[in-house]
Structure 1
């Protein structure tokens, strides 16, 4: 942060000195109550809150919940905000504290959470485990059940056979992972499962409160029944000092684990086995606990009871858990939202420090409002659903219900039951704002071209809107201002809190509506009868969906292709930035002579995306003066020529005068529409846009959109500066540049040489098209009992394989679905669907996208996408709300992140670390250390530190990011997937190759699930898998992965792309390890040719490749370093 201007020089020097201090890995010693100690690996910027987090993921202390931390100098009860760096020495003492009922319940919940991985996530990777255990029994030095070494004559032979079979298994596994087959959804949760272990206990239940003589009424909290793994039932009493067992041997312990360990040797052994498995799974942390049901595939344990959906311990209300978020109790529904948002817009924001204070207030207020708005919207929607008086036949946009709650206005409308209808759910659209289409277009464009660090926080109208789509209805929750005479907004001084540092934010999936209600009569029916009944239901529902599609198709075909000129405000911001960058680039060009300067001036006048060259607006007068001088020098011409010259001069002067008059009018018109500061900012941008009329600005912005923004997006896709892996990341990349998803057809046409980009765009268009069908089905089905079967029938119609009909043209797609999709994509995206487009469609990716966009939860089952009916009624479990809200964080923090990325790309590692550290500090201060928005800053800084060689610190940051992403974003979110891949490379560099391989294969599984095998990110991950397989001695397996990556990069990016060079280089290393030196040199020569052409001879990677190529033999450590310099994370 920059020092305050009002401070003296000494303060500025001190600030500058402090900025040079970068975080380092710190050992944090914690003395435990049992007189042992544990050493935690932290960062020097950590606080006591972070130490608590580290203790919760440490196998020695994860079961301890209610404690305080003290320091020999700072004293007892250290606050969460105390910096670890201020504690000298960094030695803390953990002191157990007394419980109240809430804390004691939370302690039980933690123990249930720790053990959940043994039962909740289905079978673990049992085949591999069994193979390892079988080979381990006969391995040299193995132990028998008594603990003695087993010795046999055939140990060497057995070991050789075991090694051979293990090698074959690795090869077979590699073939499966590299194949184009769909990933198995049934094994989605295997990565987190430890079902091969015996759970330490069978259940923990609350019992009727017992009367215990030794415990006073005031100290007694509640009673428990615990059934251990050996079947023994233990009665436990929770009291303020801890947990107390009932029986002959009465023991008081502060925590349940210690108590049960003393009572049962079986429990002790089972718990030790579990902790050992945690350590073997990942010795650095990332424990398989603390999860929430936040993914479109529900946990296997919940799938066993779909009508009840037993919650994971973290969300179990019986044990004090919930789905997260604020405002659940409804206490703050009547909060003065309007005045608080108004005060927010009036807060000082000139300096970075002021903006940080303002952004923190904005973030907390907006997060609180969004949570309250969603809860109130769901409550209102449930009221509408159960009220038959409101469910009469209404039009798709008629208002069913309105509610006013203080400053909150809630409006409920029915969703469209016609799949061709477009319901406006934009938070800045006509429906939400009540503003006309033309006014919205103008407002967004002006907002964009005058945007700065304060734009998002000052747009309180957009911040105060949340849109919720749920169960066939659309709810708009809006903050409405009351007209008040007092012009100066005042805050009510409400203290906004952020428990757990931003962790446990609202899990929208926890607000699910279960679709399965198993009746007693249904349970009594035989399985054959139920199957027949379900088939009949599916047939009836499919006929219903087909009829709905026919009506929609008829309406679509009558619809005229119209140009919808909606503008996202981000487009204006990117446009201004583009013009500034272009001008700065031209200024940097130093040309020697006057002729070159003239050419430079002409180039400056040609600004892409503008109707009139900008520089010409300022140089017309100069041109007129030059023409006058020329005419004076030719005074010897005839009088007729002189008259003509005077006429031309007068005409030019008149045009100049008219131009100036028009510019003045345009300026005045814009000044009336903009605030003084916004207009001044636009004028000082030196782009000339302040002289343009609104219509000119609209036309020029559209030209920039088509001629610059879209081609630039595709160019960034080609260079891999942007690499979307699914519809969500593709949408994010386009929206942040102000590009609309309706341009997907145009992007496909521009991406002719990027087949993976075309594939992603086509998949996203299909998902967005099919989304309308499912939303229409949900809106049209009145009977709740028929919702699941109707959705299953619709999914079968869209994703099943057609049988018994002519399906050559439609690639085994139902003719009606094919025709509807063909017309829809033409009308909405101006894209002509062909059968070749559907040949390589990944149906699992389509299914995943649909579940995200529509809000559907499914059982984790291996769906047979090659059958006519891959989905059953029982596969569809629930509907969840889908909401839209404005993004609110820190513009300064995001800018620092971009600066860090740019510095990293340019190889300026010191700058990258500095910017990354500042960005993280900014986002932690605004969003909290464990909020989902902060995870991206942890992840980026980890990558930057990795490139500096600080693998330990990089690993700690990336583990923080992964823990947040898994629990806050979802188990298959693109950020979660990236964290797995990055963390694997970090583990590899720390020489934990087996652990690295486990995590990189999880990343590969998710890549196959999202973007499939034909994607640059998948190819890069193949290279990383190969690197780790080679580290384990499986060179032949590594070579297979490398050849797969090479073919993929050649096909997708071309034979001369930098990533293709990385593949050649990696193969060269593998061949050298196999002592195939001539082939190795040949591949390295190809690498060198590509690098010289793309990067130049002076680039470090080119020089490394040259050094390797000229050497007669490779040295493995040197090659690995070079390898990683070419392999992106």
Structure 2
């Protein structure tokens, strides 16, 4: 599954040791007697597009795209999804090569390369299955294995050497073997840039996969095996397609927020613990507004006064009912108040702490963001502040704030933040965020969720039955997959929500509108709790529920659900998106159904404007 090639390396004493994994991968035996593998990142093959290697290992096509590029570390690896797609493509080329050589051998004429490229894979497999001993099958298979870079001479077996171009590692193999390993790795890196990225852009053009925000864009890239560091290349390809302007805005916003996340991580390292809220609010002000001067000592004095005032006013609510409280409770309250006053005396003063973070301004921050975007993603922001970025890419501040908070783990107060109309005369009033807006910082945990194979087998079988027109059989298989997922994951999971959405659609197609509405309502509730009330998938669930509500004669409820879905997408990416156009057209039809022609016309005109 990992496609790791067994290889040998030399030690300091010139001894040869055969390895089945990377050099840096470690194996230990735990106290429980089990065997464990550590440092598994190096088991993935390295990405030659981001390694400092000789120009001879890069093709002319990649050199024209300014590869290889420098990166901040040497841990750039290819994703497993890309390896699987690359091996699958090699498998197709393997069958085509055998079919071509066999056709040449039987007919005695050289077939054209164009015919080979257009040959059907199933036809190639049929020809391969007809190979006999008289047809010199061994030579044909060996020739095909050499052409695709197979490790074995008699069968298809693609494997990568994870220790190529690793410093302080000496491979114990012949130069021809090393050259073959480098060639295979170079082809995989080219396949990522020249094949996978254009295929993803083609999916965007066909509307088979339309990202709404940075998270859905990242999921689309990862499903194709494209690393996030290729966002700059994705932006370059998208600019060549005028119809994908909304994708370019999402890519630019994603690059900005990811760059801000890295700068923010470094920024917090020099901040005292008791000043985290103030420093985070200052960072947000520099990021989303224009702060031209550093924070002064007067601001810290106002912060201290505000903190002490809020602390002193906290127990005042309890004083109104003090006449009805017994003397014992009053004494205990006085003791607690004395303890708070004593603790307040030992609060460290702000002036005695490091205040390096207070020198940050919008100009300094955006200079760091520009350098970060250029070094990590090879993308030029060409912006000096938030105003120029909004003017250049037509992105809302709320979309940037939401994306940044989700990436950095910030939890802020839910209120109307006035970005546009700020008092320019007073610097303190000019700040949109204050320390009271920062509620919490929670960790962002990345993990690979386990997938129950039986449930997914039932699910894929059900989808195949549905495509064949066997709706009832497909419904039964999807229901069985839903039960298995419920037993494995529990009652709440995003995959269960996906099953419920498909079951609701099948009920709608088969004419059971009421059951479809009830099932979709469960999917909406589950998506809200698992993914969040502002997730793009939740908006999709609302759209489906609006359709089923309209089918049940609930036109007003359907319009409210579509308005809610429209609001979620506006928060995620703004108005310039195909989903907004679809929602507006549906809203126009629903409003027309119950006589609200004026608003229906407005939504239809808006949909037409977006489609143009």
- Interval containing the TM-score (normalised by the shorter chain): 0.5 to 0.7
Look up the match of 1:1028. Answer: 590
1:897-936 to structure 2, matched below 5 A, reads: 897=459, 913=475, 916-936=478-498
> 1:875 and 1:751, CA in 2 relative to 1: closer, same or farther beyond 3 A?
same
Distance 1:661 1:748 in 2: 31
Among 577, 602, 609, the residue aligned to 2:116: 602
Does residue 973 of the first structure (1) align with residue 517 of the second (2)?
no
Find 1:786's aligned residue among 271, 275, 286. 275
Q: Specify the alignment match of 1:856 in structure 2.
A: 410
Q: Is the Cα contact below 8 Å between 1:744 and 1:829 reproduced in 2? A: yes
Q: In 1, Cα distance between the equivalents of 2:555 and 2:148? A: 72
Question: Quick check: 1:713 aligned with 2:200?
Answer: yes
SS at match of 1:857: strand
Distance verdict in 2 for CA 1:436–1:739, change over 3 Å: closer
Residues 904, 1007 of structure 1: CA spacing in aligned structure 2 closer, same or farther, 3 A cutoff? farther
Check 1:1009–1:880 CA distance in 2 against 1; reply closer, same or farther (3 A cut): same
Q: Deviations over 1:74-96 (max 9, x none)?
A: xxxxxxxxxxxxxxxxxxxxxxx
CA-CA distance at 1:734 after TM superposition: 1.6
Conservation of the 8 A alpha-carbon contact between 1:442 and 1:694: no
Aligned pair 1:1038/2:600, yes or no? yes
Aligned-pair Cα RMSD in Å: 4.7
Q: Is 1:995–2:562 an aligned residue pair?
A: no
What is the aligned partner in structure 1 of residue 80 from structure 2?
Answer: 569
Asked if the contact 2:459–2:478 (Cα under 8 Å) also holds between the matched residues in 1, the reply is yes
Corresponding residue SS for 2:445: strand
Instruction: Check whether the contact 1:586–1:604 (CA below 8 A) recurs between aligned residues.
Output: no
Report if aligned partners of 1:666, 1:693 keep a CA contact under 8 Å in 2.
no
Distance of 1:661 and 1:697 partners within structure 2: 8
Mapped to 1, the partners of 2:585 and 2:551 lie a distance apart of 15
Match for residue 845 of structure 1 among 399, 422, 427: 399
Aligned-partner SS, 2:449? coil
1-structure distance, mates of 2:449, 2:260:
27
Structure 1 position 1014, deviation (Å) = 0.8
Hey, what's the Cα distance between the residues in 2 that align with 1:822 and 1:860? 29
Q: What is the aligned partner in structure 2 of residue 441 from structure 1?
A: 45
- Secondary structure, aligned partner of 1:997: helix
Tell me the distance in 2 between the aligned counterparts of 1:828 and 1:599: 40
Deviations 1:248-281 (A, max 9, x none): xxxxxxxxxxxxxxxxxxxxxxxxxxxxxxxxxx
CA drift at 1:829? 0.9
Aligned residue number for residue 829 of structure 1: 377
Verify: 1:1015 aligned to 2:577, yes or no.
yes
1:731 aligns with 218
Alignment of 1:60-209 (within 5 A): none
Deviation at 1:873, TM superposition (A): 1.1
TM-superposition CA deviations, 1:1064-1100 (whole Å, max 9, x none): xxxxxxxxxxxxxxxxxxxxxxxxxxxxxxxxxxxxx
Deviations 1:658-708 (A, max 9, x none): 95998666789979999xxxxxxxxxxxxxxxxx95434322221221121
Task: Tell me the CA shift for residue 792 of structure 1.
Answer: 0.2
Distance 1:917 1:929 in 2: 14
Instruction: Return the offset for 1:803.
Output: 6.5
Provide closer, same or farther for how the CA distance between residues 911 and 779 of structure 1 changes in structure 2, counting only shifts above 3 A: farther
Partner secondary structure for residue 441 of structure 1: coil
| Distance change >3 Å, CA 597–CA 757, structure 1 → 2 | same
Structure 1 pair 947/885, CA: closer, same or farther in 2 (3 Å)? same
The answer to which structure, 1 or 2, has the higher relative contact order (CA under 8 A, 6+ apart) is: 1
Distance in 2, matches of 1:563 and 1:1047, equals 47
Structure 2 length normalisation: TM-score?
0.62
SS in 1 for 2:225: coil
Which residue among 772, 778, 789 is the counterpart of 2:262?
772
**What are structure 2's unaligned runs of at least 5 residues?**
1-29, 48-69, 99-106, 162-178, 294-360, 423-429
Structure 1 residues 1018 and 830 mapped into 2: Cα distance closer, same or farther (>3 Å)? same
Distance 1:848 1:858 in 2: 10
- Distance between the aligned counterparts of 1:841 and 1:967, measured in 2? 28
Higher helix share: 2
Equivalent positions of 1:494-643 (< 5 A) are 565-578=76-89, 601-603=115-117
Cross-structure match for 2:514: 952
CA–CA distance in structure 1, aligned partners of residues 608 and 462 of structure 2: 30
The alpha-carbon distance between structure 1 residues 785 and 602, as it changes in their structure 2 partners (threshold 3 A), is same
Native 8 Å contact 2:559 2:587 kept in 1: yes
* Aligned residues of 1:980 and 1:999 also touching (Cα < 8 A): yes
Structure 1 position 901, deviation (Å):
6.0
Is the strand fraction higher in 1 or 2?
Answer: 1
The separation in 2 between residues aligned to 1:717 and 1:567, in whole angstroms, is: 23
> Who wins on radius of gyration, i.e. which is larger?
1
Shift of 1:906: 8.7
> Measured at CA, do residues 586 and 975 of structure 1 come closer, stay the same or move farther in structure 2, by a change above 3 Å?
farther
Which whole-Å CA distance do the structure 2 matches of 1:841 and 1:821 have between them? 17
Asked if the contact 1:727/1:764 (under 8 Å) is kept, the reply is: yes
Structure 1 Cα separation of the partners of residues 79 and 188 of structure 2: 11
Q: Write the distance in 1 (CA, Å) between the matches of 2:146 and 2:90.
A: 22
Among candidates 358, 361, 366, match of residue 818 of structure 1? 366
3-state DSSP of counterpart to 2:439: strand
- Equivalent residue runs for 1:231-270 within 5 Å: none
**CA deviation string 1:628-650 (max 9, x = no partner):** xxxxxxxxxxxxxxxxxxxxxxx
Alignment match of 1:938 (pick from 492, 500, 524): 500
* Alignment CA distance shift 1:893-1:707 (3 Å): farther
TM superposition shift of 1:909: 5.4
What's 1:87 paired with?
none
Q: Quickly say closer, same or farther: Cα 1:814–1:1021, change in 2 above 3 A.
A: same
The 1:861–1:995 alpha-carbon spacing in structure 2 relative to 1, beyond 3 Å, is same
Shift of 1:1042: 1.2
Aligned residues: 444
* Native 8 Å contact 1:568 1:739 kept in 2: yes
Per the TM alignment, residue 788 of structure 1 is displaced from its structure 2 partner at its CA by 0.4
Aligned counterpart, 1:360 = none
How far did residue 898 of structure 1 move?
5.6
Q: 1:659 to 1:773 in 2, by over 3 A?
A: closer
Counterparts of 2:389 and 2:260, CA distance in 1: 16
SS in 1 for 2:226: coil
Alignment of 1:685-724 (within 5 A): 693-724=180-211
In the TM superposition, residue 563 of structure 1 has moved relative to its aligned partner by 8.1
Give the whole-Å Cα distance in 2 for the aligned partners of 1:560 and 1:597.
Answer: 45
Q: Does 1:745 align with 2:232?
A: yes
